[in-house]
């Protein structure tokens, strides 16, 4: 079925409202943020309109490089852990009955209804010394005394994986449902073990979906704000936390705007890469 090209201005009418919303809620705020990022900080106030590049020059500092490197590393680890857990889980889920699949999907959707604050304080309770999971380890004899697991990097990583895992499963589920199971049966007929058939047939067939999922979870984790503060130490804070600290507590709005611009550009680049991967998958 061939799509007819627009022939008059009336054919573009359905695009007016989305374009207006995009302009009001993205283009205008992002333009203001870019302008503020070149302003000069005023110690006596907020900022002074100017055109300086000092705010972007601070990106080369050791402190900013450490925060950026940690944020990227944390996002990569969250994406890798989510995919390593969600891919085999979703593959096994689609082989269950429809009722079991519905129950699991409803459970995942219920997790999505939880706010980041609830998730953070729930995990802080589980990782605490008085009411945490270490008390169970003491009860079974694996530990001598309970201890607190927060604040720490492991707690931050666990909380962020828990938050992003339902999104990962829900993205992988449609692709795995559409997967032709006869390919897997053919591999088993030719003598491949279940594990080898999974890695040699299923994973290569869905490589574009896997890449797109990794990028989506990476972008999601890169903007995490509350969990690093609740479950981690200051050295575990991400770039989003540093932006808020500079804007609110340090009254350095130009530098906060510059970091926000940098973060948005990274996110947009990764979203564009995701769309490119999805377009290639649709074409193939």
Residuewise pLDDT in 10s, the chain (284 residues):
456 666 666 666 777 888 888 888 888 888 888 888 888 887 766 777 888 888 888 877 787 888 888 888 999 999 999 999 999 999 889 888 889 888 988 888 888 888 888 888 888 888 888 877 888 888 887 778 888 888 889 889 999 999 999 999 988 998 888 887 778 778 778 777 878 888 888 888 888 888 888 888 888 888 888 889 888 888 888 888 888 888 888 778 888 888 888 888 887 887 777 777 666 655 55
Q: How far apart are the first and last CA of the chain?
A: 18
CA distance 128 to 74: 22
Instruction: Select from 116, 119, 117, 93 the least CA-distant residue to 106.
Output: 93
Predicted TM-score of the model (pTM): 0.80
CA distance 43 to 36: 15
Tokens 């979703």 belong to: 90
- Superfamily name with CATH number, domain 56-277: MetI-like (1.10.3720.10)
Vertex 182: Cα angle to 180 and 187 (nearest 5):
115
Q: Tally Cβ neighbours within 10 Å of residue 191.
A: 8
47: three-class secondary structure by DSSP: strand
CA distance 223 to 264: 9
- pLDDT given at position 240: 85
Instruction: Select from 212, 223, 217 the least CA-distant residue to 264.
Output: 223
Cβ contacts of 109 within 8 Å, gap of 6 or more? 166
CA distance 235 to 151: 10
251: left (phi over 0), alpha (psi -120 to 50) or beta: left
- pLDDT given at position 78: 94
- pLDDT given at position 279: 67
Cβ contacts of 58 within 8 Å, gap of 6 or more? 64, 255, 258
Any bridge partners for residue 41, and if so which?
A: 47
CA distance 92 to 81: 17
CA distance 30 to 257: 9
Alpha-helical (H) ranges within the chain are: 16-22, 28-37, 54-57, 62-93, 98-112, 116-126, 134-139, 153-177, 181-189, 194-197, 203-205, 207-222, 226-231, 239-244, 253-283
């Amino acid at each position: 079925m061939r799509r007819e090209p627009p022939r008059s201005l009336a054919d573009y009418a359905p695009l007016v409202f989305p374009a207006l919303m995009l302009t009001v809620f993205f283009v205008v705020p992002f333009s203001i943020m870019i302008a503020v990022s070149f302003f000069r900080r005023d110690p006596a106030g907020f900022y002074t309109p100017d055109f300086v590049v000092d705010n972007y020059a601070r990106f080369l500092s050791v402190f900013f490089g450490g925060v950026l490197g940690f944020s990227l590393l944390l996002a990569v680890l969250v994406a890798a852990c989510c995919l390593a857990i969600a891919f085999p889980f979703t593959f096994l889920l689609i082989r269950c009955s429809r009722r079991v699949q519905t129950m699991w999907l409803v459970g995942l959707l219920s997790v999505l209804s939880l706010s980041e604050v609830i998730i953070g304080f729930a995990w802080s309770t589980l990782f605490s010394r008085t009411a945490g999971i270490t008390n169970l380890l003491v009860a079974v004899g694996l530990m001598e005394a309970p201890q607190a697991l927060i604040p720490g990097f492991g707690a931050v990583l666990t909380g962020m994986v828990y938050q992003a895992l339902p999104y990962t499963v829900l993205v992988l589920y449609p692709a795995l449902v559409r997967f032709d199971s006869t390919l897997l049966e053919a591999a088993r007929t030719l003598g491949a073990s279940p594990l080898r058939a999974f890695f040699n047939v299923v994973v290569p067939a869905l490589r574009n979906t896997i890449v797109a999922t990794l990028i989506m979870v990476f972008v999601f984790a890169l903007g995490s704000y509350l969990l690093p503060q609740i479950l981690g130490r200051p050295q575990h804070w991400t770039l989003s936390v540093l932006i808020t600290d500079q804007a609110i507590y340090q009254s350095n709005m130009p530098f906060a705007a510059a970091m926000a611009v940098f973060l948005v550009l990274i996110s947009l680049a990764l979203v564009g890469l995701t769309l490119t991967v999805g377009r290639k998958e649709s074409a193939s």
